[in-house]
A = this chain, B = another copy of it.
């Protein structure tokens, strides 16, 4: 198995919640389940520790990182800056095909909203944001965004969504698509910032705390 694949799989295990935040990471079990030895697994753990998904306690093993309130605040602050930058860069760079793709995603997202299908809604939402970042055509930015998003995702997963927020989020997304289509970089950046700020409040309000 490729090194990057181990990192990806481990990241998936951590982000998609199979190991809850704060829990010990069972080195031996994961070795068995990935069918690799401790060496490559430990390499992957160090990489994810550098990313902030894992905390390494010297001589006491590794744990899935907990998100403190401050972490959430910091992650959202940076995410805001990155998404706004992505939006600004995407406006002049986005292709018509990419624009169509986002419009389609937007349409199905609205469908899921109508059907009150939260999970499918989240999936579309995520795909749209990722598509915007991709349209910015900046690998460094995309990497950082992925890393931030992975950490935030866990927090968002556990927050319920109030009907008002949901409606508002849909409206904001209309604005995002609109700004993209008009190639209004400044406007898009502004909307994305507000969008993120609201999401952040939502997460924080949801009484979010995994411990400090």
Interface residue ranges, A against B (CB under 8 Å): 2-3, 7, 39, 42-44, 46-47, 50-52, 56, 58, 71, 74-75, 77-78, 80-82, 84-85, 89, 138-141, 143-144, 148
Contacts and interface: CB of A to CB of B under 8 A. Distances in A.
Contact of A81 (B50, B56, B81, B143): B81
23 contacts: A2-B58, A7-B50, A39-B39, A43-B46, A47-B47, A52-B140, A74-B138, A74-B140, A74-B141, A75-B140, A77-B85, A77-B89, A77-B138, A78-B82, A78-B85, A78-B138, A78-B140, A80-B85, A81-B81, A81-B82, A81-B85, A140-B148, A144-B144
Given A39-B39, A56-B3, A141 B50 contact: no
Number of copies: 2
A42 B42 CA distance: 11
- The A interface is mostly helix, strand or loop, or mixed, namely helix
A74 B74 CA distance: 23
